[in-house]
C-alpha cells in the first residue's frame, strides 16, 4: 500500500525510535519527539512499538491511501477528518481505498503521530528510519514530506492485535505540559540561589526558535556565577543549557552531540514527551525532582505503555 501526499503540512517527517550508537561520530539519536504518543499509536494499530510513523508538527496536510488501511492519530489533538467525518484521536480508524485523510491545525500541543498498520517503509540508514532534519539524513530523503511524495508501507504488516484505550485521564497526565520536571546537574551549583529561584518559581515561554534540535525559552534571564563556558563535553538529551544571553535552551532529539554551555538542569526522561509537545507561546514551569523519582516516573510510564493490552 502507498500513501500519497496531496498537501504538505508544516513539517511532517518519518520517525521511529531513533538511531542510537553513533554519538561518538557526531550523530545524535533523532527519533520521535514525543516517544510516548508514538509508541501508543503503534500499539493501537497493532504495530511493533518502534515501527516508523509520520510525525506531524503544528499543521498536518492531506494524505491519500491507495488501499484499505488502519491508522491511528496520537499525541496532540489536531483537526482531522476523512470525507468530512472527524477522526478521533487515541483510537484506530479504518480508511478505505482512495479515501484521503485531512489533518489541519492542532487544537493542543505541537505534534501528533500518524501511525499506519504495517509501519512506514523508508530505507534504513544506520539501522533506523528516523529523519534527522538538521543534517538532512535518514527518513524520506532526509527532509520533511512535500506535496507529491509517495510513501510505502510494509506489504504484510504485523500480526499484533489492535489495542483499545480506555484511560484517557492517565494519558493526559503524562502529556501535561504545564510542568516540566528536571533533575539538577553537576554544574547546577554554577547558578546561585537567585538563579535557581528564577528557574523554579517563574514561568518560561517557548520562543519562536523551536525545532527538533533545541527549544529556546524566554521570560527569565538566568546567569551563571562561574562563566558561560565549560570545557566541551557530551550533551545529554533534555539538557537545559544556559548560554551567555541567559535564555535557557532545552537540547532535544536532534541536539549537537557535544557542547560548551553550562547546563543548569536536565529534563527527566518521563517528561521528554511533554517537551515534544511544547509549541511557541506555551508557558510552563520547571519542577525539581531527585534521581530516584525520575527513574520511577519513567518506569511507570513504560509500564503504562507495556500494559496496554489487546481489545
Partner 1 sequence: MTISSDFKITPASDRTLLIQFGEENSPNVQKAVFLFSHYLMDHPLEGIANFHPGYASILVSVDIDNTSVKSIQKDLQQAWYDSGNIELPESKLIEILVLYGGEYGPDLIYVAEHNGISESDVIELHSCGEYYVSFIGFTPGFPYISGLNPKLETPRLNTPRKRVPAGSVAIGGSQTGIYPLESPGGWNLIGQTPIQIFDINHPENALINMRDKIKFIPIDEEEFERLKQS
User: Which span (2-10, 93-101, 106-114, 257-265) binds partner 1, by CB under 8 A?
Assistant: 257-265
Residue matched to cell numbers 528564577: 198
Q: Mask of contacts with partner 1, 107-136, x by CB under 8 A?
A: ------------------xx-------xx-
Give yes or no for residue 215 binding partner 1 (CB under 8 A).
no
Query: Looking at 1-9, 67-75, 100-108, 263-271, which segment touches partner 1 (CB under 8 A)?
Result: 263-271
Task: Determine the Cα–Cα distance for residues 173 and 261; give it in Å rounded to an integer.
Answer: 32
Closest Cα to residue 70, out of 89, 85, 92?
92
* Residue 270, strand partner residues: none
Q: CA 48, CA 288: separation in Å to the nearest integer? A: 34
Sheet with 100-106, side-by-side order of all strands: 85-86, 78-82, 100-106, 59-65, 2-7, 150-153, 120-121
Number of residues that bind partner 1 (CB under 8 A): 39
d(CA 60, CA 102): 7
Degrees to nearest 5, angle at CA 87 with 61 and 96 = 80
- 3-state SS assignment for residue 229: coil
The answer to the question of residue 291 lying near partner 1 (CB under 8 A) is yes
302 binds partner 1 (CB under 8 A): yes
Q: Which of 272, 261, 301 shows the shortest CA–CA distance to 212?
A: 272
Rounded Cα–Cα distance for residues 305 and 3 (Å) = 27
Q: Which one of 56, 163, 171, 268 is in contact with partner 1 (CB under 8 A)?
A: 268
Cα(288)–Cα(305) distance, rounded to whole angstroms? 25
Alpha-carbon distance of 91 to 211, in angstroms, equals 28
The yes or no reply on residue 6 touching partner 1 (CB under 8 A) is no
x/- mask, partner 1, residues 51-90, rule CB under 8 A, reads ----------------------------------------
Piece in contact with partner 1 (CB under 8 A), picked from 22-30, 63-71, 103-111, 195-203:
22-30
The residues in 174-193 that bind partner 1, with binding defined as CB under 8 A, are: 183, 185-186
Stretch that binds partner 1, among 59-67, 78-86, 195-203, 260-268 (CB under 8 A): 260-268
Asked if residue 228 binds partner 1 (CB under 8 A), the reply is: no
Q: Does 266 bind partner 1 (CB under 8 A)?
A: yes
Counting contacts by CB under 8 A, is residue 233 touching partner 1? yes
**Least distance in Å: CB of 256 to partner 1?**
5
CB of 278 to partner 1, least distance (A): 18
Q: Measure the CA–CA gap between 123 and 54, rounded to whole angstroms.
A: 15
Where do contacts with partner 1 occur on this chain (CB under 8 A)? 20-27, 29, 125-126, 134-135, 137, 183, 185-186, 231-239, 256-259, 266-269, 291, 294-295, 298, 302
Amino acid at each position: 500500500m502507498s500513501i500519497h501526499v496531496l498537501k504538505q503540512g508544516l513539517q511532517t517527517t518519518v520517525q521511529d525510535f531513533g538511531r542510537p550508537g553513533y554519538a561518538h561520530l557526531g550523530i545524535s539519536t533523532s527519533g520521535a519527539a514525543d516517544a510516548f504518543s508514538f509508541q501508543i499509536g503503534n500499539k493501537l494499530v497493532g504495530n511493533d512499538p518502534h515501527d516508523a510513523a509520520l510525525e506531524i508538527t503544528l499543521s498536518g496536510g492531506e494524505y491519500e491511501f491507495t488501499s484499505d488501511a488502519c491508522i491511528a492519530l496520537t499525541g496532540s489533538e489536531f483537526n482531522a477528518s476523512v470525507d468530512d467525518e472527524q477522526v478521533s484521536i487515541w483510537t484506530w480508524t479504518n480508511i478505505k481505498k482512495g479515501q484521503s485523510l485531512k489533518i489541519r491545525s492542532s487544537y493542543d500541543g505541537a505534534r501528533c503521530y500518524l501511525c499506519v498498520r504495517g509501519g512506514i517503509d523508508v530505507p534504513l540508514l544506520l539501522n533506523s528510519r528516523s529523519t534527522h532534519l538538521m543534517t538532512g539524513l535518514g527518513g524520506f530523503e532526509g527532509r520533511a514530506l512535500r506535496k507529491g511524495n509517495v510513501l510505502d508501507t510494509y506489504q504484510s504488516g504485523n500480526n499484533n492485535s489492535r489495542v483499545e484505550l480506555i484511560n484517557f485521564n492517565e494519558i493526559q497526565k503524562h502529556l501535561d505540559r504545564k510542568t516540566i520536571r528536571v533533575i539538577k546537574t553537576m554544574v547546577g551549583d554554577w547558578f546561585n540561589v537567585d538563579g535557581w529561584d528564577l528557574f523554579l518559581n517563574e514561568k518560561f515561554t517557548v520562543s519562536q526558535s523551536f525545532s527538533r534540535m533545541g527549544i529556546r525559552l524566554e521570560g527569565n534571564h538566568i546567569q551563571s556565577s562561574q562563566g558561560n563556558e565549560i570545557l566541551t563535553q557530551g550533551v545529554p538529551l533534555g539538557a537545559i543549557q544556559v548560554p551567555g544571553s541567559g535564555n535557557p535552551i532545552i537540547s532535544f532529539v536532534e541536539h549537537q552531540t557535544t557542547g560548551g554551555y553550562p547546563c543548569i538542569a536536565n529534563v527527566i526522561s518521563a517528561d521528554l514527551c511533554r517537551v515534544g509537545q511544547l509549541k511557541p507561546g506555551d508557558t510552563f514551569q520547571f519542577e525539581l525532582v531527585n534521581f530516584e523519582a525520575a527513574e520511577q516516573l519513567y518506569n511507570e510510564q513504560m509500564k503504562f505503555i507495556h500494559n496496554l493490552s489487546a481489545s
